[in-house]
Structure 1
Amino acid sequence: MRFLGDKRSIGSILLTAMILIGWKGFAQKTDTLNAPPAVLPGVYADPNLTVFNGKFYIYPTTDGTTGWLSTYFTCWSSDNLVNWKNEGTIIDLPKDLSWAKVRAWAPTIAQKNGKYYFYYSADVNIGVAVADKPTGPFKDPLGKPLIKKGSVRGQVIDPMVFVDDDGAAYLYFGQGQCHVVKLNDDMISCDTTKMISFKPEGYNEGPFMIKRKGIYYLMWSEYDTRDPRYSIAYATSTSPLGPFKKAVGFPVLKGKGVVKGAGHHSVVQVPGKDEWYIAYHRFKIPGGNGYNRETCISSMKFDKDGNILPVDVFEKLKPVKLKDYKKR
């Protein structure tokens, strides 16, 4: 037992233990070979994350086919952002549409007038569907696209609808070029002659708008979704229509290590709090690619000047409760 009585030996043991503990903590922080699990089982991409009446919802693209040939959309619900329930198919293109049968991509949803308005890409057009509940059933009120392919420069895909504090709603969309148009009060029509088109530096697709403390943040995906460098950038404005000034520095979100192709996102604010979360897809781990992607969620933070801080794609998602949320 002389070893235990040797102060120098005890000190060496303690020092070694501290170093090992410190290294373990450091390794955990910088471990890019292990990522948190996806929040949805299977392959889903382009997730639109939102909150309605005290519950979170995700509306994704169904992935897993070369050329992205999905024909239907699903809805998922959660009470805590971590555990998700499949609410089933909410639109089946061959059954529910007369004008498109394939390429069901990148949906979004908005609530107004006591209704839920679901916007989506279908065969490179943008459509709209309406329901009384966020889980549907959704019906096509137009019998035709809201925005037809070929009507603007670039692909007519990736719709996002932002409803401002004054109730005005704006539709953002476009691959290769960003377009924005104010929707009419009925939420299923717009004056395309008043559409604004522009292309921020690095813009490719997936526009998404949020508003925080009077500042409008237009976010988008850069590179191609099949490219491991796929990532998210943003620009700011004092108007939902711009002009927008691109933020400099690191992207909002990009892959690292085992995480590749992280992009095409959406953002949700916890009601009543300055607390934000970003949903996005990445190449499926393991063995994924631009046609086999999975949905993830991470926290998103701002600095004191309102800049969006780089998202840590290796941070473990903690449950978020909305039990104190009051229906508005």
Structure 2
Amino acid sequence: MKMHQRIAALTLVGLAMVFGQGCGGEPGEVQSGESPRSTGAALACTTRITYGNAWIHGAGHPDMFDVADGSVTWDGRCVNEGTNSYAVLSNGWKPYFTGNNACVLAMDTNCAGAPACTSRITYGPAWIHSGTNTYDDVGGRVFWDRACVNESLNSYSLLSNDWKPYFTGSNACAMSFMYSGCGGLYQNPVLNVDCADPGVIFDGGRYIATCTSGGAADAFPIRTSTDLVNWSSAGFIFPSARKPTWASTDFWAPEIHLVGTQYVAYFTARHTDGKLSIGAATATSAVGPFTDIGRPLVHDTTMGMIDATFFTDTTGRKYLVWKADGNAVGQKTPIYGQELSADGLSLIGSRVQLITNDRTWEGGVVEAPWVVARDGYYYLFYSGNAYYNSTYAIGVARATSPLGPYTKASAPTLKSVTGWEGPGHGSVVNTPAGSSVMVYHAWNAGHTARVMLVDAIIWRSGWPAMPEAPSVSSRPMP
């Protein structure tokens, strides 16, 4: 069997090649930068091996994956060598990773008997347990932020599924992760260009995203994806020639929703009278072309109105939720909700204040609402505080009726971490697999753009949580 080996001592000095017999029966060698398939006849099945972000590889191999012939597995053991670590795969390959206990791999095969998404957590030698196994296999995606908490003479870590493994000694947490059949790995950001206020929906096999465009000639870029990680451009809601005649600039916070048999894009723009207002445009496809309805949907001559979102309650009634821009004039920033007509193009009934900024962490602002119905509750996600710095965060409130009253969670659900500042303005998306994720923005390292991130939502005791988010290292695909 030919083997492909990545060799590192304390630091990587290059890629090594191992010579031998190819899987298809022909001798061959793997050159640096090549996909490590055998050079003989291809087998009927292959395994895609995706490496975590700590993987040590050369410039000649820019991809974070390899494709190997046959079914390739790993027992989950991570071996430390100096300041690095390595895994030994079933075909003899030996990928190295920067740091001790840093092995993270995803194995996805099209071979017969391929498993459903499973996580294998392999524990280091200090793990406190009974029995002989050194690992656990768990259905679904489980991950860890590498935080290790000391408690008396021992230490523990908290995993995304609420498991709490203990280890003998201080700072002794050590685990490696293998994901089988989960679709690979990703690392934030999933869109490394300016994409503030992402509005994202799932639309029959693909995801649709659109972002704030400000004063750009073409308003609201549209992108599509099949996996929430790899995105392709699909035009604009409003190319320059199709912009609403009532709007002048400041095209903010768009969302595209299926309302009845048509798609409606709700958005913010500055009215020609100077007030920020909420508009609507329709299309027969989620990627347009969109036609503005010819007037603002929400317009107040005394107060700007921004950040509209749409949802349908469990009985089929439709609602618009938005924010009053009170912070621009030194006032509170209530978030309102009001019922919509069946076509989503006019308001009916009376508006109701759902929440306002009354918690310390929210500062002078609550904004960017998104509402989902789940398990008898309506969950109102929102952002609070100053969008331009690390105080910005995402909170949540819940109610048993679509227009409240809403009760806020005691603390934000998502806050800044080292590496990602000001996470906010999120869309909550349910994947075909039944999981929930949030797509949101955060500032890049240079603080020059708000880029798009994706992280998992876990539902615990009637509330959403986003463990180890914003994520900075590799995660299993959403």
Per-residue displacement from partner, 1:164-216 (whole Å, max 9, x unpaired)? Answer: 2322111010141101100011210013x610124153352101101111111
Amino acid at match of 1:283: W
Instruction: Determine which of 269, 276, 282 is the counterpart of 1:130.
Output: 282
Tell me if the contact between 1:200 and 1:246 (Cα under 8 Å) persists in the aligned partners.
no
Give % identity: 28
Per-residue displacement from partner, 1:116-142 (whole Å, max 9, x unpaired)? Answer: 01100011110000000000000012x
Partner of 1:230: 392
**Within 1, Cα distance between the matches of 2:300 and 2:387?**
20
- What's the C-alpha RMSD, in Å, of the aligned pairs? 2.8
**Within 2, Cα distance between the matches of 1:126 and 1:93?**
19
SS in 1 for 2:146: helix
SS in 2 for 1:144: coil
1:89 aligns with 2:247: no
Partner of 2:253: 106
Instruction: Determine which of 188, 194, 199 is the counterpart of 1:48.
Output: 199
**Within 1, Cα distance between the matches of 2:397 and 2:282?**
31
**Within 1, Cα distance between the matches of 2:231 and 2:83?**
40
Unaligned runs of 5+ in 1: 1-14, 63-67, 321-328
Q: CA, structure 1 residues 170+272, in 2 after alignment: closer, same or farther (shift >3 Å)? A: farther
Partner of 1:76: 223
Q: What are the equivalent positions in structure 2 for 1:10-29 lying under 5 Å apart?
A: 23-25=100-102, 29=146
1:270 aligns with 2:459: no
Tell me if the contact between 2:80 and 2:101 (Cα under 8 Å) persists in the aligned partners.
no
1:209 aligns with 2:371: yes
Between stretches 129-138 and 47-56, larger displacement belongs to 47-56
Q: What are the equivalent positions in structure 2 for 1:1-328 lying under 5 Å apart?
A: 23-25=100-102, 29-30=146-147, 36-62=187-213, 68-71=214-217, 72-92=219-239, 95-123=242-270, 124-141=276-293, 143-150=294-301, 155-174=304-323, 175=325, 176-191=333-348, 194-197=350-353, 198-199=355-356, 201=358, 202=362, 204-249=366-411, 251-271=412-432, 273=434, 275-284=435-444, 286-289=445-448, 292-303=449-460, 305-311=461-467, 312-314=469-471, 316-320=474-478
SS in 1 for 2:187: coil
Q: CA, structure 1 residues 19+178, in 2 after alignment: closer, same or farther (shift >3 Å)? A: same
**Within 2, Cα distance between the matches of 1:229 and 1:318?**
28
Structure with higher helix content: 1
Between stretches 131-140 and 41-50, larger displacement belongs to 41-50
Tell me if the contact between 2:393 and 2:414 (Cα under 8 Å) persists in the aligned partners.
yes
**Within 2, Cα distance between the matches of 1:82 and 1:182?**
34
Q: CA, structure 1 residues 70+181, in 2 after alignment: closer, same or farther (shift >3 Å)? A: farther
Amino acid at match of 2:308: P
**Within 2, Cα distance between the matches of 1:213 and 1:184?**
25
Q: CA, structure 1 residues 23+219, in 2 after alignment: closer, same or farther (shift >3 Å)? A: same
Partner of 2:175: none
Deviation at 1:75, TM superposition (A): 1.0
**Within 1, Cα distance between the matches of 2:297 and 2:397?**
27
Q: CA, structure 1 residues 232+144, in 2 after alignment: closer, same or farther (shift >3 Å)? A: same
Deviation at 1:95, TM superposition (A): 3.5
Per-residue displacement from partner, 1:214-263 (whole Å, max 9, x unpaired)? Answer: 111111101021122210001111011000111114x2111111210111
**Within 1, Cα distance between the matches of 2:254 and 2:317?**
20
Flag as ranges the 4+ runs of structure 1 deviating above 6 A: none
Q: CA, structure 1 residues 16+164, in 2 after alignment: closer, same or farther (shift >3 Å)? A: closer
Per-residue displacement from partner, 1:29-60 (whole Å, max 9, x unpaired)? Answer: 259xxx93322242111011110111111111
**Within 2, Cα distance between the matches of 1:17 and 1:272?**
38
Per-residue displacement from partner, 1:262-283 (whole Å, max 9, x unpaired)? Answer: 111110012462x101011111
TM-score after normalising by structure 2:
0.56
Matched positions, count: 289
Deviation at 1:16, TM superposition (A): 7.8
Unaligned runs of 5+ in 2: 1-78, 86-98, 103-123, 125-143, 149-185, 271-275, 326-332
Larger C-alpha radius of gyration, 1 or 2? 2
**Within 1, Cα distance between the matches of 2:306 and 2:268?**
5
Per-residue displacement from partner, 1:54-91 (whole Å, max 9, x unpaired)? Answer: 111111113xxxxx434501111111111111101121
**Within 2, Cα distance between the matches of 1:48 and 1:82?**
15
Amino acid at match of 1:319: M
**Within 2, Cα distance between the matches of 1:43 and 1:49?**
15
